[in-house]
Structure 1
Amino acid sequence: MDEARALLIAACCSLAKLQMRLIDLSYQRRKTGPHTWSMADPHWRVEELDPPSPWLDACAPRIGVTSVITAIALVQAHLLGMVETDGAIDGLRACVVLHHLSLHGNTWSTPIQRLAERLKVELPPEPRDATHLASLQGAAFPGRHKKASK
């Protein structure tokens, strides 16, 4: 296995751990004081993560944790599809896929910058220069697709 594929698998493992943490958190009530719980706004936000996750350092602080949980699943599916394909990994595409975790953040997260260094990819100054403001939501999954049998 080449280094790029190993790095993407490692990223997926790290994201799985984050996802499990966020799922656990989403089932807990938000504490707003020493003996008070939030009933008006029970949903956790990225800014409330303690400790914060470097994967989410490009997110807007008020993004909901449940949105991030969904984004992680989508990112993992795309990254694993890239691992499955033949040929070289497109490092910039991997970084753009990972950027989806920020839910349209304006900067590259620290882990994405480190991944780009390891993959020898030059990131544009702003993510929108690479994403062209497109969402990963409607993008086709990479990977081998079996033909439907008749």
Structure 2
Amino acid sequence: MDEARTLLIATCGSLARLHMRLIGQWHWRRQTGPKTWSLSDPHWRVEELDPPSPWLDACAPRTEIANLIPAIALVQAHLLGMVEADGPIDGLKACVALHHLSFHGSAWSEPVRRLADRLDVELPAEPRDATNMASLQQAPLPGRQRRTAI
């Protein structure tokens, strides 16, 4: 396995740990007592993570944790699809996929910059120059084309 694939697998592993942390925080913080739930402010935000996550450093502070949970899964699906696909990894596409965690943030996060350095990719000055403001949700998942047996 080449270095780029190994790096994307490690990235997905780290994102999985963040994913589990956010799921736990989302459930745990919602409860204010036995069978008592917060109704006044039901949505926990990135700014409330203690300690903060470097994966989310380009996220708006008021981004809801509930929105990040499916976003992380989508990023992982894209990165793992790149690992599975034939041919070389497109480093810029991997960085753009990881940038999805910032929800169209106007700056590259530090983890995206580190990934770009490791993949030897030159990032455009602003993320919108690479994404054209397109959402990862609309992009087809990379990977091998398979026929389902169902």
CA contact (8 A) 1:29 1:42 kept: no
Kept after mapping to 2: 8 A contact 1:79/1:94:
yes
Partner residue in 2 for 1:46: 46
Structure 1 alignment gaps of length 5 or more: none
Provide the residue aligned with 1:80 in structure 2: 80
Aligned residues: 146
Aligned to 2:140: 140
Alpha-carbon shift at residue 29 of structure 1 (Å): 3.0
Question: Which whole-Å CA distance do the structure 2 matches of 1:129 and 1:41 have between them?
Answer: 36
Deviations 1:58-108 (A, max 9, x none): 000100001011100000000000000111100000000000011111111
What are the within-5 Å matches in structure 2 for residues 52-71 of structure 1? 52-71=52-71
Distance in 2 between residues matched to 1:138 and 1:11, nearest whole Å:
22
Letter in 2 for 1:54: P
- The root-mean-square deviation of aligned C-alpha atoms, in Å, is 1.9
* Structure 2 counterpart SS, 1:27: helix
User: 1:64, 1:20 → 2: CA distance?
Assistant: 15
Structure 2 runs not aligned, ≥5 long: none
Q: Percent identity?
A: 70
Where in structure 2 are the equivalents of 1:93-104 lying within 5 Å? Answer: 93-104=93-104
Paired residue type of 1:46: V
**Could you tell me which residue of structure 1 aligns to residue 124 of structure 2?**
124
Calculate the TM-score normalised by the size of structure 2. 0.91
Greater per-residue helix proportion: 2
How far apart, CA to CA, are the structure 2 residues paired with 1:84 and 1:71? Answer: 20
| 1:148 to partner: Cα distance | 5.3
Question: What's the TM-score, normalizing by structure 1?
Answer: 0.91
Q: 3-state SS of the aligned residue for 2:97?
A: helix
